[in-house]
Structure 1
Amino acid sequence: MADYPSLQSLTINKISVLVTGSSGFLGQHLIKLLQEEDDSVSSIVCFDKRPYRNNLGHKTEKSMKFITGDIRDDKVVTTAMEGVDCVIHCAAETSIDFNADEKSLFSVNVDGTENLLNCAIESNVRYFVHVSTIDVICGPDPIYYGAENTCMVPKKPVLGPYARSKYEAELRFGRLSTVIVRPTLLYGEEDPYFVSQLIKVAKSSPGNCLPRVDNVFTRTQVTYVGNAAWACCKAKDRLRLDPGIGGEQFIITDDTPVQDPFDFIKPYLDQVNCRLSDRPLPYWILIIILELILIVVTLIRPFYSIDLPEKYNPRRVRYLCTTFFFNRNKSTLRLTYQPLYTPDDSKKRSLVYYGKL
């Protein structure tokens, strides 16, 4: 039997952690938890293309080093990894627009990740936690209680090039002790994507009204961002205790109720004086209309520059109106992960943030 360190030894033999994408949505929460809740960490290196700001007002008792740069720049990355024991890789380009720059997505998400991996090997970094996304396995078909060993990677993921680039990044690992975490759709403080985008659509619509879309039985599973960050901490610890889990994927969820996505969004719309439409739009009719608009725009774009608002993005509608929910048993058993924040606490924190938008 392998002689692995004990759980107690993690707090004695503390390590230095590099967080890429530290200024981003997940990165901010991860830095907060490394500072306030993780006794196994002695120092933190914040790496991002944007200067780090403590937007969450967390404690700063542990040593922090700030490096601004691109994950594709091997010189800057090598400098950032000096003295680092573990990398938690959150940085990514996340565009799901129908006119997203596919080359840029693969350059950042795939080439950037590979550069980080190469630099980590050269710098003798022992542990690597890679933040992927559940979107890599979300295709045109619904998923009910999906698990790591039951969900296949679809040929046509709902979120297109973004999801493909994140899966291609996963395939780069194998030469270093790495854990891959796949959180579901995230919400919470600093969210620039999910809830914030829907609030933006509502505010740009007549009467501050977000159209509800009806696809018979639709359920979605979202995760509070603080719990996804906590899962990264647990993955780091388990990797130190048991390097044998290297190369495995782990689905990350929390106890936020699985529900109709429009029912989930309603309290946050109410918080900013917006509302849902009383009469839902039929899903398939809406999708056909949006796809026709997209075809027309694609045909005329070479001759006339045009950008459509995100409310006309069929990818976003398909994703929101397809049932995806998952089983986190593997993360519970192998990573000893349990959500740090309750659904009520997550909602209270989120309401404060979204109420200021």
Structure 2
Amino acid sequence: MAYSELPRLCRGDNKVENERILVTGAAGFIGSHLVDKLLIDGYEVTGIDNLSTGSIDNINHHFGKRSFRFIKGDVRDSRTVRNAVKGASVVISAAALVSGPRSIHRPLETHENNVTATLKLLEACHEVGVSKFLYISSAAVYGRARELPTSEECCPHPASPYGASKLAAENYVSVFNEVYGLDTVSLRLFNVYGPRQTSGPYGGVVSVFLDSVLKGRSPIIFGDGEQTRDFIHIKDVVEACLLAMKTDGVSGEVFNIASGQPTKISDLAKMIL
């Protein structure tokens, strides 16, 4: 279960009735699980993804359902975004170019995907009168955390272009809440793991370790393995997202979504082995 301010979110159990939810990055790891749960819960869902990193296999089991519509498009394109937002009451922004290491090699592309695209989406939401905007952010905004456990009160200090881009996008989300009155919530996800997570060079450590073991190799640990991470399962992340979407009285807030339990990388490798 996600921790931090989740008890406050748990007080809200309002269902967003008869409303269409737009999920950006719908074919990605997190976005596709959001689409699954929203459809199970009876929502109308529009998903958009340019499939640059997401996989159509993550969502093609929904094709043909009257409650699901998929748009192959890029959220960096203003016209595409405006068309996607039409008819949506809630927008969940899960599209992003993820990974700190990748962003170091591609900082401008990271900015365009994570900041410029978010700003265009916010503008479109404001123009059409979207009821709520949920932004999927990242614990990467904290960089090398100066205190553990890391609370929302800790000063962000990004250590990569990716972390900087997520923080910049968060700031735009906050501005649209303060200046334009858009109902927003930002969720800083820690180390998410679960089905559909990629195991490539920019994949999560859990999926990378699992892939190594399945291929008969030992997981590669950098350093002494004493470094810790907070891992949270994708199902708990989805639950937190839906609670944030349905809860009143949290407009403009930012929440950490994590397990609250540190795990050493060396211990993670032992669990998987």
TM-score range, shorter chain: 0.7 to 0.9
| Counterpart amino acid of residue 45 in structure 1 | T
| 1:71-126, Cα deviation, whole Å (9 max, x unpaired) | 11111111111211000000000132365211000011000000000011111111
Distance 1:55-1:64 versus aligned 2 partners, 3 A rule = closer
Report whether the alignment pairs 1:259 with 2:263: yes
Distance 1:235-1:75 versus aligned 2 partners, 3 A rule = same
- Give the aligned partner of residue 147 of structure 2: 143
- Give the aligned partner of residue 182 of structure 1: 188
Partner SS for 1:148: coil
2:252 to 231, 247, 256: 247
| Counterpart amino acid of residue 39 in structure 2 | Q
Partner SS for 1:162: helix
- Give the aligned partner of residue 100 of structure 2: 96
Work out the CA distance in 1 between the residues paired with 2:39 and 2:63. 6
**Which 5+ residue runs of structure 1 have no aligned equivalent?**
1-5, 271-357
Work out the CA distance in 2 between the residues paired with 1:59 and 1:224. 26
Work out the CA distance in 2 between the residues paired with 1:197 and 1:7. 36
**Which 5+ residue runs of structure 2 have no aligned equivalent?**
1-10, 177-181
- Give the aligned partner of residue 166 of structure 1: 166
Report whether the alignment pairs 1:222 with 2:231: yes
Distance 1:10-1:201 versus aligned 2 partners, 3 A rule = closer
Work out the CA distance in 1 between the residues paired with 2:71 and 2:61. 20
Partner SS for 1:147: coil
| Counterpart amino acid of residue 207 in structure 2 | S
Work out the CA distance in 1 between the residues paired with 2:226 and 2:13. 47
1:234 to 224, 230, 243: 243
Distance 1:78-1:52 versus aligned 2 partners, 3 A rule = farther
Work out the CA distance in 2 between the residues paired with 1:124 and 1:20. 17
- Give the aligned partner of residue 19 of structure 1: 23
Q: Which has the larger radius of gyration?
A: 1
Q: Is the 8 A contact 1:21 1:47 kept in 2?
A: yes
Partner SS for 2:262: coil
Partner SS for 1:181: strand
| Counterpart amino acid of residue 49 in structure 1 | N
In the TM superposition, what are the counterparts of 1:1-357 in structure 2 within 5 Å?
10=15, 13-36=17-40, 38-39=41-42, 41=43, 43-50=44-51, 52-54=56-58, 63-97=67-101, 99-139=104-144, 141-149=145-153, 151-154=154-157, 157-158=158-159, 160-173=160-173, 174-175=175-176, 176-192=182-198, 193-194=203-204, 195-199=206-210, 208-213=217-222, 215=224, 217-238=226-247, 241-242=248-249, 245-254=250-259, 257-268=261-272, 270=273
1:171 Cα offset (Å): 0.9
Q: State the TM-score, normalizing by the size of structure 2.
A: 0.80
Q: Is the 8 A contact 1:20 1:27 kept in 2?
A: yes
Q: State the TM-score, normalizing by the size of structure 1.
A: 0.63
Distance 1:28-1:259 versus aligned 2 partners, 3 A rule = same
Work out the CA distance in 1 between the residues paired with 2:60 and 2:240. 18
Q: Is the 8 A contact 2:28 2:58 kept in 1?
A: no
Percent pairwise identity: 27
| Counterpart amino acid of residue 141 in structure 2 | V
Partner SS for 1:125: coil
Larger RCO (CA under 8 A, 6+ residues apart):
2
Work out the CA distance in 2 between the residues paired with 1:55 and 1:110. 25
CA RMSD of aligned residues (A): 2.8
| Counterpart amino acid of residue 65 in structure 1 | R
Work out the CA distance in 2 between the residues paired with 1:222 and 1:184. 7
Distance 1:267-1:7 versus aligned 2 partners, 3 A rule = closer
Q: How many residues end up aligned between the 2 structures?
A: 248
Distance 1:62-1:10 versus aligned 2 partners, 3 A rule = farther
| Counterpart amino acid of residue 31 in structure 2 | G
Distance 1:7-1:235 versus aligned 2 partners, 3 A rule = closer
Q: Is the 8 A contact 1:22 1:52 kept in 2?
A: no
Partner SS for 1:87: strand
Q: Is the 8 A contact 1:90 1:130 kept in 2?
A: yes
| 1:48-85, Cα deviation, whole Å (9 max, x unpaired) | 10274445967986601111111111111111112110
Q: Is the 8 A contact 1:133 1:182 kept in 2?
A: yes
Q: Is the 8 A contact 2:135 2:186 kept in 1?
A: yes
Partner SS for 1:208: coil
